[in-house]
Structure 1
């Protein structure tokens, strides 16, 4: 997200000082960035969209799921700390809409990539199991 977002106030809203998850505290060794509560709730909405529309086999699946997630989000509930910052921008092209769309798009593409890679895995990889006998199997 740091490469895409150029606004420092919007970047600071994505991070939190304390994490709400004990698992995140346990796994953190100093390199993880703790997400804010707004980012977590937006990811939960995107996860519900992914689970409900997992059978979509069309073009631009990520964009369609992002659009569905955007319709389920009430914008005034999220990132209330940057309300003064939003007033400085255009109404259609403000940072709040861009931030919500970017978070949901990033999460949906990441989850779909994970789902796709986990379904495409081969159960038993013969090449790694039989390293010396692979010449006889012609693989």
Structure 2
């Protein structure tokens, strides 16, 4: 029964693949930070910051942030910290851009829809009557 759910082409299979990818990406990012910290302590050749940021950007952001806090590594390097925090926005931004590019949504349609929705929300309708109240103190109309 469960094998029927996790077959190629199903949503469960795609979710399983995504979970596996994210697990691998976060493990790689955490390991890279740990290796870089170890090399920093031993005054050996370091892993370039660009490589660490690429690993974080490609889905390993949680592993990178976890390693940064647990290992106390690269916490004072402010340009790196800001770039690491911004790297989490890259993939969702790319996905949102791809969705918008695939849709037929244009700026004109978007502004027209927003204007129509706003007019519907703020329009006063005089024909609408308030519901009748029941109970003590309510007068019959």
TM-score (norm 2): 0.30
TM-score (norm 1): 0.30
Bigger proportion of residues as helix: 2
Name which one, 1 or 2, has greater alpha-carbon Rg: 2
Larger RCO (CA under 8 A, 6+ residues apart): 1
